[in-house]
Amino acid sequence: MIRSRKERTPFALGAYFTGGATNGDAWRAPEEDTDADIEFQRYRDYVAVLEKGRFDAIFLYDNVLPIPDPSLIARTPMLARWDTFTLLAALAVTSSHIGLIGTASTTFNEPYNIARRVASLDRLSGGRAGWNVVTATGGGENFNLASHVDHELRYERAQEFVDVVKRLWKTVEPDAFIRDKRSGEWLNATHVHPLNHKGRFFQVAGPLNAPPTIQRPPVVAQAGASGPGKELAARIGEIIYTAEYDINAGRDYRSDILDRAVRFGRDDRHIRILPGLAPIVALTESEAKAKFEHYLTYLDKADILRGLSFYASLGTDLSEWPDDRPVELHCVEETNSHKSRQSLIVDWIRKTHPTKEDILRTFTRGGHRLLVGTPASIVDEMEEWHQTGAADGFNIMFTSSPSGINDFVEMVIPELQRRKIMRSSYASRNLRENLRIPPT
C-alpha cells in the first residue's frame, strides 16, 4: 500500500478521442481534419504519432444520447461517431504497443456481449484492450424507455454488470485449449466453468464463448465522481478519469478514491487516476498565447457555451448571459445525468464569479481544463500534480487534430522524457504491463 499519498506511482498518459469527425473545437482552422468519421486513416495516423510519443493508451469517449433538436448540434462536431470497439478493432491491426480503451455503458448493454467484445479486442490487439465503464449520461429514449434511467439505479446495475463481466472472463482457463489432432481432444472440459449467475439485474449461465484474453483480464477504466460513481470507481476502476482542474481538489479526489479502494481490499498502488488536460503548447509563452487566441477565433463561442451549459446541466444557457457581467447561478436543479460535472462547474462559477469569456478561456466544451504554455511550463504543472499526489498521469484532450496531437508529441513528450517523468520506450506490448498494474 502507498504509505503517503504523495508517493509517486508510474506516470501514465492517455489520449482522449471522441470517435468523431474531429477532435477538439478548433475544427474550422484550415490545418485541421474534419473527416475522421469517414476516413479511417486519420485515426491510424493519429495513433501512429501517439505511439511515437509512447502514450499508454487511447481512450474513445462514446454516448448514445437522443438528439430531439438536431439544430443544436449543427455547428458542433458531435455527429457522427464510430462505434468505439469497431474503430479500436481496426486500430488494433495498424498499431503495435498503445492501449485501446473503448467506452460501453452498463445501462444499455448486456454483460455477456461486453465481456465478449472486449475479450475479442484483447486477443486481436495482443493484450492491449481496455473497457471504460460508464452508466451513460443519457440515452434511455433510444432503448425503449421514456427517459434516462435513474442515477442510483444505473450505478446499482453497473456494479453487478462489471462483476459478471469480470467473472465471465474467468470462465475459461487459458490452458483449457488442447487442440490435439492426434487424440481429437479440443478442450479440457475441466478447465471450463459455467457461471450460473442469478442476480438482481442479470441471469447469465456462461461460460463465455470468446477468445481467451491475453491480459487476464483486460484493463477496466471508469470515471465516477458522484457518491455512487466514486464507489464504483474505487471498487473496479484501474484507470480512473476525472475532470478535476484544481490541484488541491485533485489531491482530495485521489486520496478519497484510494481510501475507498483500500476499504474494498484493493492495493492502491494499482490504480491510475488521470485528470483531463487540454494543452495548447508552443516554444515560447507569447507564441502559446498567440496560438490560443488563434484557436479562440475558430470557436463558435455561443455554441461552446451552450454545449457546456447542456453538458454540465447548468439550467441556464450561458451563451445568453450578458458579455460584461459575471455569471450568476442561483437555484440549479440537481441533474440525473452528470452529477459530478454539474457540481464541479457550478461550484467553480459560484466561487470565481467569471464572465462568459473567463469560462471559455478556462474550460473546454466538456468542462476539462485548458492549459496554455511552453513545454516547460506545461510539464511543470503535470509534474507538480504527479509529485504531490493529485494525479498518476493525465488524459490529454487535444484541442485540435492533427495539430494538437503533433504539437504535444513534438514538444511536451520530449520534456516529460528529459525529466524522466516518462519512459522513452514501451516496456511491453501489453497495456496492463505498461501501466504496471498486475492482473486481478
Residues of this chain that bind ligand FMN (CB under 6 A): 61-63, 103, 134, 136-137, 223-226, 229, 241-243, 276, 338-341, 395
- Grid look-up 486477443 returns 123
Rounded to a whole number of angstroms, the minimum distance from the CB of residue 226 to ligand FMN is 3
Whether the Cβ atoms of residue 205 and residue 195 lie closer than 8 Å to each other: yes
Rounded to a whole number of angstroms, the minimum distance from the CB of residue 397 to ligand FMN is 8
Rounded to a whole number of angstroms, the minimum distance from the CB of residue 243 to ligand FMN is 5
For ligand FMN, the closer of residues 52 and 263 by Cβ is: 263
Rounded to a whole number of angstroms, the minimum distance from the CB of residue 145 to ligand FMN is 15
107 CB contacts (<8 Å, ≥6 apart)? Answer: 135, 136, 139, 140, 143, 149, 154, 157, 158
For ligand FMN, the closer of residues 172 and 240 by Cβ is: 240
Rounded to a whole number of angstroms, the minimum distance from the CB of residue 136 to ligand FMN is 4
Rounded to a whole number of angstroms, the minimum distance from the CB of residue 162 to ligand FMN is 13
Write the CA distances from 434 to 41, 290, 319, 368, 392, integer angstroms.
26, 36, 43, 26, 14
Distance CA 161, CA 312 (A): 26
Rounded to a whole number of angstroms, the minimum distance from the CB of residue 155 to ligand FMN is 7
For ligand FMN, the closer of residues 10 and 276 by Cβ is: 276
For ligand FMN, the closer of residues 134 and 261 by Cβ is: 134
For ligand FMN, the closer of residues 60 and 214 by Cβ is: 60
CA atoms in the 13 A half-sphere facing the CB of 227: 5
For ligand FMN, the closer of residues 123 and 148 by Cβ is: 148
Residue 102, number of CB atoms within 10 A of its CB: 28
313: left (phi over 0), alpha (psi -120 to 50) or beta: left
Which residue's Cβ lies closest to ligand FMN? 229
Closest-CA residue to 23 (of 31, 13, 33) = 33
- Phi, psi at residue 116, to the nearest 5°? -70, -40
Prior bond of 207 cis (ω within 30°): yes
Prior bond of 80 cis (ω within 30°): yes
Write the CA distances from 367 to 33, 52, 236, 377, 404, integer angstroms.
23, 28, 24, 22, 18
Tell me the three-class secondary structure of 105-166, residue by residue. Answer: ECCCCCHHHHHHHHHHHHHHCCCCEEEEEECCCCCHHHCCCCCCCCHHHHHHHHHHHHHHHH
For ligand FMN, the closer of residues 104 and 204 by Cβ is: 104
Cell of 425: 520506450
For ligand FMN, the closer of residues 292 and 394 by Cβ is: 394
Coil, strand or helix at 42 = helix
Rounded to a whole number of angstroms, the minimum distance from the CB of residue 233 to ligand FMN is 8
Angle between helices 111-124 and 151-168 (to 10 degrees): 50
For ligand FMN, the closer of residues 195 and 234 by Cβ is: 234
In total, the chain counts a number of residues equal to: 440
For ligand FMN, the closer of residues 224 and 375 by Cβ is: 224
Rounded to a whole number of angstroms, the minimum distance from the CB of residue 186 to ligand FMN is 39
Rounded to a whole number of angstroms, the minimum distance from the CB of residue 221 to ligand FMN is 9
For ligand FMN, the closer of residues 9 and 226 by Cβ is: 226
Distance CA 89, CA 352 (A): 44
Rounded to a whole number of angstroms, the minimum distance from the CB of residue 160 to ligand FMN is 17
Residue 387, number of CB atoms within 10 A of its CB: 13
- Grid look-up 504491463 returns 433
For ligand FMN, the closer of residues 157 and 356 by Cβ is: 157
Rounded to a whole number of angstroms, the minimum distance from the CB of residue 272 to ligand FMN is 13
